[in-house]
Amino acid sequence: INPTQSDGQFTDIGPSYRAAIFVQNDEERKIAEASKAKLAASGRFDKPIVTEILPSMKFWPAEEYHQKYYQQNPTDFEMFEVGSGRKAFEKKKWTDAKPDTR
């Protein structure tokens, strides 16, 4: 993901595409805030980390045709990854990331 993009992810724009961390209680919020601060201090990104930390809410699974989209539509997904810049971004920003900063 791109935690510095506030309006969506890559070419997918709109509220439903924004990066967010959903928390259920104060302890989870503290953990999320610490994780976000650690990523911001890591120097991995040259822009502010704008991923929101929000209270959890009711979740609805996506329609069946969206499930495992990358597996069911590998060519389309590859075209999206390359065309949107996602693949290059992930390689540049996340390839060497340690598990606690992904």
Total count of domains within the chain: 1
Identify the band that residue 99 occupies on the pLDDT scale cut at 50, 70 and 90: low
Residue 67 lies in a domain: yes
Tokens of 35: 């994780």
Distinct helix (H) and strand (E) counts, the chain:
4, 4
Can you give the pLDDT at residue 98?
63
Higher pLDDT residue, 40 or 101? 40
Can you give the pLDDT at residue 101?
52
Residue 69 lies in a domain: yes
Can you give the pLDDT at residue 87?
93
This prediction has a pTM of 0.77
Q: What average pLDDT does the structure give for the chain?
A: 92
Residue 17 lies in a domain: yes
For the four alpha carbons of 72, 19, 31 and 25, in that order, the dihedral sign comes to negative
Q: Which CATH number do you get for residue 57?
A: 3.30.1060.10
Residue 70 lies in a domain: yes
Range of the domain at 46: 8-101
Higher pLDDT residue, 100 or 18? 18
**Residue 44 near residue 34 (C-beta atoms within 8 A):** no
